[in-house]
């Protein structure tokens, strides 16, 4: 008898269906807009939503990069393997279309930041540029590259330097207190289907509670 839940055994599902299901229910996902350079120094940019911060001590991000149908690796992964550095830029609403342009499967060596009309600034701790229009950029060095055995490679990056646009801090002492107003960053997240996104402006707060709960 049905309990009102559909059950899925991922071991018996096709990889395509498994991706479709997981990418539709694990929501919203932050988007790492990754800038990298190839061995010749050419810049590359592409978005990745199988991404998150996975540790603050050490400060680590994880990005899952799937196989490339027409080349050995997606350019981002080839570049990260070659240079051991990359920059994760967070995506604001006003650059959503530009981010989507950089997701095209352009020929190897194409600088998608030019295609998308993006302004870049040189990195501080790495030799990879960041996207100026992004309110947050995380300069990363490769910590570890994991090959879990399927089509995806997981890159663990150690954040070595962070850029945050000053006007996203809350109030006059926001910078000193490291209080960021997320609604000022206007970041987008990845949602369902081929082209679903959300904004991060619909926020609410819940105060953390100490034990005992309400005198219980
Ligand atoms: C919002 C968004 C999220 C994406 N997330 C991923 C991801 O997590 N992993 C992945 O392999 N590809 C992802 N892609 C597809 C890549 O961006 C795409 O394959 C891109 O062409 C890779 O570029 P590159 O070859 O220059 O690295 C995503 C695309 C979009 C638009």
Domain edges within the chain: 27-204
* Residues 6 or more apart whose Cβ sits within 8 Å of residue 41: none
Instruction: Give the confidence band of 1 by pLDDT, cuts at 50, 70, 90.
Output: low
Instruction: Give the confidence band of 2 by pLDDT, cuts at 50, 70, 90.
Output: confident
| pLDDT computed for residue 121 by the predictor | 98
- Mapped onto helix, strand or coil, the DSSP state of residue 178 is coil
In words, the CATH class of domain 27-204 is mainly beta
Over residues 172-181, the mean pLDDT reads 96
Q: For residue 112, report the distance from its CA to the centre of ligand 1, in Å.
A: 12
- Mapped onto helix, strand or coil, the DSSP state of residue 166 is helix
Instruction: Give the confidence band of 162 by pLDDT, cuts at 50, 70, 90.
Output: very high
Q: Whose CA is nearest to atom 24 of ligand 1?
A: 75
Q: For residue 174, report the distance from its CA to the centre of ligand 1, in Å.
A: 34
> Around Cβ 131, how many Cβ atoms within 10 Å?
26
**149 Ramachandran zone, left/alpha/beta (phi>0; psi -120 to 50):** left
Over residues 178-195, the mean pLDDT reads 95
Q: For residue 178, report the distance from its CA to the centre of ligand 1, in Å.
A: 31
More confident residue, 106 or 44: 44
pLDDT at 71 over 80: yes
Its pTM surpasses 0.95: yes
SS3 percent helix, strand, coil of the chain, rounded to 5, is: 25, 30, 45
| pLDDT computed for residue 128 by the predictor | 98
CA distance 147 to 104: 24
Q: What is the DSSP letter of 176?
A: H
Q: Is the C-beta atom of 110 inside 6 A of ligand 1? A: no
């Amino acid at each position: 008898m049905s309990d009102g839940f559909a059950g899925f055994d991922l071991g018996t599902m096709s990889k395509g269906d498994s991706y479709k299901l997981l990418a539709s229910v694990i929501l919203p996902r932050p988007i790492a807009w990754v800038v990298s350079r190839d061995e010749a120094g050419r810049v590359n940019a592409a978005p990745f939503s199988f991404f998150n911060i996975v540790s603050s001590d050490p400060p680590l991000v994880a990005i899952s990069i799937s196989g490339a149908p027409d080349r050995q690796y997606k350019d981002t992964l080839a570049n990260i393997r070659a240079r051991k550095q990359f920059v994760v830029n967070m995506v604001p609403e006003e650059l959503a279309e530009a981010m989507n342009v950089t997701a095209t499967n352009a020929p190897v060596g194409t600088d998608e930041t030019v295609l998308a009309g993006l302004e870049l600034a040189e990195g501080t701790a790495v030799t990879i540029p960041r996207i100026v229009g992004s309110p947050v950029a995380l300069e990363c060095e490769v910590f570890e590259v994991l090959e879990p055995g399927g089509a995806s490679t997981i890159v663990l990056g150690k954040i070595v330097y962070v850029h945050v646009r000053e006007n996203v801090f809350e109030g006059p002492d926001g910078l000193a207190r490291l209080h960021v107003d997320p609604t000022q960053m206007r970041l987008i997240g990845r949602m369902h289907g081929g082209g679903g996104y959300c904004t991060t402006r619909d926020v609410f707060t819940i105060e953390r509670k100490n034990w005992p709960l309400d005198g219980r």
